[in-house]
Structure 1
Amino acid sequence: MTGAFILAGIGFFTTANAAPAATEEQPPFDWSGAYAGIHIGYGWGDSDFTDSEYNGAPPYPTVGWGVDSDGLITGINAGYNWQRDHMIFGLEGEIGRLNLSGSAAQPGTDPYGIPYDASGTVDKGWYGGLSARLGYAWDRTLLYAKAGVLYSNARSGFKDTCTAGPCGNSTASASKRIGWGYQLGAGVEHAMTKRWTIKAEYAYLDFGTTTISGNIIGGAFGGKPYDIRSDLSMHTVKIGLNYQF
């Protein structure tokens, strides 16, 4: 009888706790409003250098070569979203560091059979940008595309030190900011809480053509001007953490 009584009590307790509890339906996540955050990522780029003058002394042939560069990307970002049903419209500004660096020697030999000893370089610098975002939200998950303008003080450079042949002891050395460019990208963002979101993003950056100009110092061609063209395009992947106000 005691055992039956205990079993009956356990059954009553279990039944009472198994009763379905009333649940409140969570409202859809609201993506509208201001936000700010941080990001970190990696970038890899390629620059095409073209020397069509070879230190301003024709008839040297046009020589082209590539310079690979890569490095970390770090920065902060802030923006504002407007939401209409599932559609998200936004503006985002960002500022950070492009820690890209790379160099490569000019290939081949000149018409006198002397190997070229010039090189092209890409050096790290700061960047800033403003982009428009367009996305589609499934409650707490947002897929978006972005497009905008960029400016960077990272530099493309050219250096050539000649110690032989007709140019004699001369040096050509100059660099220039890569300046304005554009970016196209896409990403996914997910809301972990009411305020905090995480994101992963890919973007293609193109800074167009940069003309590196200078004058030769010393040697037979001292004082002659030269122009070396380079262009930088790169791919980036980033992860970020945002706070919605």
Structure 2
Amino acid sequence: MRKLGLSLLALLLGTAGASAADLAARPYTKAPPPVVAAYNWSGFYLGVHGGWIESDPRFDFVGVGHYNTLPGQSFGLKADGFMVGGHAGYNWQIDKFVLGIEGSGSYTDISTNAISPFFPASDTFHAKMRWMATVTPRLGVTSGPVLFYVKGGVAFADLWTRIEDTFDYNERSETRVGWTVGGGLEWMATPNWIVGVEGNYYDFGNCCGGLQESRVLATNALAGVFSNHSTKFDAWSVLGRVSYKFGGPVMAKY
């Protein structure tokens, strides 16, 4: 009986030793960490944009003139239309932050006409924005393939206004400099294609109020009649964007 017990003990010890030897012979490998995509926003890009733009041009009268009846009167119009154009820029990515500079040029279909509240039987007001351009620094933060950003800078616009009655008119056409601010988000759909949406506000200030040139009527004006007024333009837009970024593909990091 004792011999049988000793034999079983020896067999168990031998089996355990063999199993330990097998385990020691096999190399131990640690599972690799998951792959995380690193989206590279740095580089030059070109794109197109389009959407909706609204404006409320306003005529402010300094004194009594040919087209108004009391000092200090104002008349605002409402205008909206589509906006389409192109943009180009460059981004620098620092960790999760993205710094950039962008320029854009757009055609705008904003045009409005309204009957004068001062002389409704004979006078009409007209306003139009024909094109716009901007130069804006951008600051953003990334979250995976998405970039959230704000922007602001200088804006330029070609503006046209006209007040007319049965016999004469006062017309101005000018390129005005103003400012813009906005923000939006972009999604890196592929390593090079980026789509997004943004909203912007534009302010082109007042022009020509109180200047001698604003007292001149261009056509068939009677001697001594004038209109001394300024015009104010601001606008806001909602735009969709598609951009192509030049540069390398998405990189993988561990």
Fold similarity call, TM over 0.5: yes
Q: Hey, what does 1:157 align to over in structure 2?
A: 162
Distance 1:58-1:209 versus aligned 2 partners, 3 A rule: closer
Letter in 1 for 2:169: A
Q: How much does 1:142 deviate?
A: 0.3
Answering whether residue 144 of structure 2 is matched by residue 134 of structure 1, we say no
Backbone CA RMSD of aligned residues: 2.5
Residue 184 of structure 1 corresponds to which residue in structure 2?
181
Q: Which amino acid aligns with 2:178?
A: G
CA contact (8 A) 1:160 1:173 kept: no
Q: Secondary structure at the match of 1:99?
A: strand
Residue 202 of structure 1 is matched in structure 2 by 199
Task: Map residues 79-228 of structure 1 onto 2, 5 A cutoff.
Answer: 79-108=89-118, 115=120, 117-161=122-166, 170-177=167-174, 179-211=176-208, 213=214, 215-216=216-217, 217-218=219-220, 221-222=222-223, 224-228=225-229
Residue 50, structure 1, aligned to residue 64, structure 2: no
Go from structure 1 to structure 2 and tell me whether the alpha carbon gap of 1:193 and 1:182 turns closer, same or farther (over 3 Å shift): same
- What secondary structure, in the 3-state scheme, does the structure 1 residue paired with 2:208 have? strand
Q: Provide TM-score, normalisation by structure 2.
A: 0.75
Distance 1:59 1:188, change over 3 A: closer
> Equivalent residue for 1:240?
241
User: What is the aligned residue count?
Assistant: 210
**TM superposition score normalised by structure 1:** 0.77
Separation (CA, whole Å) in 1 of partners of 2:68 and 2:105:
43
Structure 2 counterpart SS, 1:117: coil
Q: 1: CA distance between counterparts of 2:65 and 2:115?
A: 15
Q: Which runs of 5+ in 1 are unaligned?
A: 1-21, 110-114, 162-169
Alpha-carbon distance between aligned partners in 1 of 2:118 and 2:163, rounded to the nearest angstrom = 16
* Deviation by residue 1:19-67 (Cα, 9 ceiling, x = unmatched): xxx9972431010111110000100111221233444699844421111
Compare the two structures and name the one with the higher strand fraction: 1
- Give the structure, 1 or 2, with the largest relative contact order (CA under 8 Å, sep 6 or more): 2
- Residue of structure 1 equivalent to 2:4: none
**Cα distance in 2, alignment partners of residues 83 and 57 from structure 1:** 55
Q: Deviations over 1:168-215 (max 9, x none)?
A: xx4133123251111110100000000000010000111111227252
Paired letter, 2:55 = G
Q: CA deviation at 1:118?
A: 2.8
Aligned partner of 1:77 among 87, 109, 131: 87
Query: Percent of aligned pairs with the same residue?
Result: 26
Instruction: Work out whether residues 67 and 118 of structure 2, in 8 Å CA contact, stay in contact via their aligned partners in 1.
Output: no
Task: Determine which structure has more spread, i.e. the larger CA radius of gyration.
Answer: 2
Conserved 8 A contact 2:134-2:156 = yes
Check conservation: 1:156, 1:210, Cα contact below 8 A.
Answer: no
Residue-by-residue CA offset, 1:137-159 (whole Å, 9 max, x unaligned): 01210000000111111322222
Distance of aligned partners of 1:126 and 1:218 in 2 relative to their CA distance in 1, 3 Å threshold: closer
Aligned to 1:233, what secondary structure does the other structure show?
A: strand
Does the C-alpha gap of structure 1 residues 210 and 159 become closer, same or farther in structure 2, counting only changes over 3 Å? farther
Q: In structure 2, what residue type is equivalent to 1:244?
A: K
